[in-house]
Every structure is written in structure tokens, then in C-alpha cells.
Structure 1
Amino acid sequence: MKSKFAFILPLFLLVTLLSCKTGQLPSTLSKGMYKVTILYPNGEGKTFDMDYYEQKHMPMVANFIGDNLKFYEIDKVISGRTPNDQPPHLAVGYFYVSNIPEYNQAIGANIDAIVSDFKNYTNIQPVVQISEIRQVVYQK
């Protein structure tokens, strides 16, 4: 019985460690992909419902993008350059896609639903930036 336990415990620990991917970027991130960044600028009187954004808005838009979407991220901004600085944005969303014309077509076909949903989570006009990923470097 003791030898069985001595074999199973290390195997369990190995499987657990190998399956843990906390802090790693998705392996699908690569040069040539595109990142759509949606910034929600901070300012006096600005409001943002992070729960709604996470649970309703971003999944809705992700569904519109379809198979072109590789993954998405959401950042809750907590400070500016130093802990005492106000954050320049309240939130940032990212969509990682492989085809910009496809992305534009999906968003264009659903723009009314996307824009009309803003009122459910924010009073901020988002700023959108699209960039090409030029380099991905993984550090140990």
C-alpha cells in the first residue's frame, strides 16, 4: 500500500503542475495576429460596471466575431504610473483576431447592438485601437 501511495502522489503532483497555466499567455498568441484594444478613459463623472462588461458585453461581442476570435482579455485598471496616480482608463478590453477585414465585417454587421449596449455598463465613449502583433517573447 505504501509503494502505491509513493507512486501515485508524485504522479498527481506532476499532472497538477503541468496543467497549471496561471500567468502564461495563450499559446495561440503569435506574430501576424491582430489585437483590437478598447480603452475606456477615466474622468470626472465616468462610470463603468465591470461585472456587466465581463458577463454580458464582451461575451456578446465575442460571439459576433465568431471563429476569427482567438481569445479576449479584460483589464480592470487600478492605478496610473504610480499607485497614487488616478488611472488613465477605467477598463481595457482586448480581442485577438487573425483577420481584420473579417473582424470589421462582424462588428459592422452588429454595430447597433454593440453601441446600444454601452448604456448598460458605461457612460464612456470607448477609444478603439487596432494593432498588428510584431513580436511575442516568453520569459521564464
Structure 2
Amino acid sequence: MKFTLIFSLLIFAACLIGFGQKKQHDMAVTEKGLIKITIMYPYAEGKTFNMAYYESKHMPMVAGYIGSNLVKYTIEKGLSGIAPDQPLPFMAVGTFYVKSLSEYQAAVGPHRDAIRADFANYTNALPVILVSEVIK
């Protein structure tokens, strides 16, 4: 009976691991070809970032401007550098995944001043922006 229970748990664990791998693969397939707008907020002494505001106000505001072209967006909070003795490179990273770069630019262009003016509500850092295409 003990062997049966252990065997059942091992099978269950293998199924969970396999499910997780399939889900990651499916996600990569659905993102391939999307345009990714990554907004990175560099850490430096004296720089601040209000994650609660960014998550509840700023990113939803910009997502609303993007509209149906938006596939998804993510928000990341920086925790550390690659090694314990290295400084944090970025306080936060926001990412928008869109279907069309030209539609994105047309949607946010008229709101650029409002987007930039809102920076003061959550950070005193100047973001670094990368526009890329998801390959895999």
C-alpha cells in the first residue's frame, strides 16, 4: 500500500511538471511575432518607484489607450542584481505585448504628454524603453 501511494504521488508530480512545460511552450507560441514594448526604470541612489500606483493607475491607463491591439501586459518588481554584491539594475519593468507597432504608436501618440506627466505620480527615474519583436 505504501508503494502504491508513493507511485501515485510520483505520477501526479510528473503530470504537474509536464503540464507546466506544455503551458510554457504554448505561451511562447502565442507570443511569437508580437511586438514587445519594454519600459525599464533604472535604479540609482535617490530614485524612487511607487509600485502600487504603477500597478493600479499608470499601466491600466496606458493599456486603455492601446485598446484592442493589446494582447497583454506585465509588471515586474526588481529584487536584486545577478550577484549578491551587485546593485539592483532596475527598480521595475513594465511590458506591453501588442499585435502591431504602427497601431500602438497611433494609439499612444496623442496621449504621450499625459503618459509622461503621470510619471511624477510614481517615479523620479527616467525610463529606458526597448521596442522589440518576440522571436520565440
When normalised by structure 2's length, the TM-score is 0.78
Partner of 2:106: 105
CA RMSD of aligned residues (A): 1.9
Equivalence for 1:89: 90
How far apart are 1:102 and its partner, in Å? 0.5
Runs of 4+ in 1 over 6 A off after TM superposition: none
- Separation of aligned partners in 2, 1:80 and 1:32: 29
Match of 2:52 in 1: 51
2:64 aligned partner: 63
Gap regions ≥5 residues in structure 1: 1-16, 136-140
**SS of the counterpart of 1:96?**
strand
TM-score for the superposition, normalised by structure 1: 0.76
Q: What is the CA distance between 1:83 and its match in structure 2? A: 3.2
- 1:29, 1:41 → 2: CA distance? 29
**Structure 2 Cα separation of the partners of residues 49 and 29 of structure 1:** 31
Aligned length, in residue pairs: 115
After TM superposition, give the deviation of residue 32 of structure 1 in Å: 0.9
CA deviation after TM superposition for structure 1 residue 109, in Å: 1.1
- Structure with higher helix content: 2
SS across alignment from 1:103: helix
Give distance in 2, aligned partners of 1:65 and 1:94.
13
Q: Which ranges in structure 2 are unaligned for 5 or more consecutive residues?
A: 1-15
SS in structure 1 opposite 2:30? coil
For 1:61 and 1:46, how far apart are their aligned partners in 2?
Answer: 22
